[in-house]
Amino acid sequence: MSGLVEFLRARLDEARAREHGKRRSIPSPFDGHDVEITYSSYEGQQVIVDGHPYPAEQYFKIATEPAPDPNVIADLDAKQRLLDLHAPDSFGSTSTYVTCKECSQGYEVHEWGPEYPCVTVRLLGLSFTNHPDYDERWRP
CB 80 within 8 A of CB 70: no
- Measured distance CA(25)–CA(106) in Å, rounded: 52
Select the span of 23-31, 38-46, 69-77, 96-104 touching Zn ion (CB under 5 A). 96-104
Q: Does 100 bind Zn ion (CB under 5 A)?
A: yes
Collapsing DSSP to helix, strand or coil, 35 comes out as strand
CB 3, min distance to Zn ion, A: 17
Q: Does 89 bind Zn ion (CB under 5 A)?
A: no
Q: Does 102 bind Zn ion (CB under 5 A)?
A: yes
Q: Does 5 bind Zn ion (CB under 5 A)?
A: no
For CA atoms 133, 137, 138, 140, the dihedral sign is positive
14 vs 84, beta carbon nearer Zn ion: 84
Q: Does 118 bind Zn ion (CB under 5 A)?
A: yes
- Measured distance CA(36)–CA(47) in Å, rounded: 6
Q: Does 120 bind Zn ion (CB under 5 A)?
A: yes
Interior CA angle at 19 toward 13 and 24, to 5°?
Answer: 160
CB 41, min distance to Zn ion, A: 41
Interacting residue ranges for Zn ion, rule: CB under 5 A: 86, 100, 102-103, 118, 120
